[in-house]
Amino acid sequence: MEIGSEQNCSKPEERCVLVCQHTSCLAAGSAAVLAAFEAAQTEFTVKGCGCQGQCSSGPTVRIIPEETWYCRVQPNDVPLIVEQHLIGGKPVEDKLHPRIHQRFNF
Ligand code: FES
């Protein structure tokens, strides 16, 4: 498993799913979340990353360059995020990080 930051994720224009693999998120199950994204992935890059500063609400998933942040993501959330958001273009509102996103802001 490669742990990287957005700085070495990929080309700037390429969509990338960053799944925090730091202490708090790992304790909340983020290794399985990363594995679920890797298993489901189609046209996007998936990487484990360091702490994203949202430790109390992990596992944290950040999608760049659009800057969509999901909180408390569990492996069974991944298929919906992939299908509805990454493929379908509509973020999964129930999992958006409330400190970063206002509801119905899309
Ligand atoms: S440990 Fe994951 S956001 Fe800090």
Global pTM? 0.87
Fold (CATH) for 6-95: Glutaredoxin (3.40.30)
Q: By percentage, how much of the chain surpasses pLDDT 90?
A: 76
Q: Does 26 contact ligand 1 (Cβ within 6 A)?
A: no
Which residues 6+ apart lie within 8 Å of 39 measured at CB? none
Q: How far apart are CA 4 and CA 34, in angstroms?
A: 13
pLDDT in tens, 46-73: 999 999 999 999 999 999 999 999 999 9
Q: Does 25 contact ligand 1 (Cβ within 6 A)?
A: yes
Q: Which atom of ligand 1 is nearest to the CA of 57?
A: 3
Pocket test for ligand 1, best of 18, 49, 54 (most atoms within 8 A of CB): 54
Task: Please give the torsion angle defined by the CA atoms of residues 89, 103, 24 and 64, in that order, rounded to the nearest 10 degrees.
Answer: 30
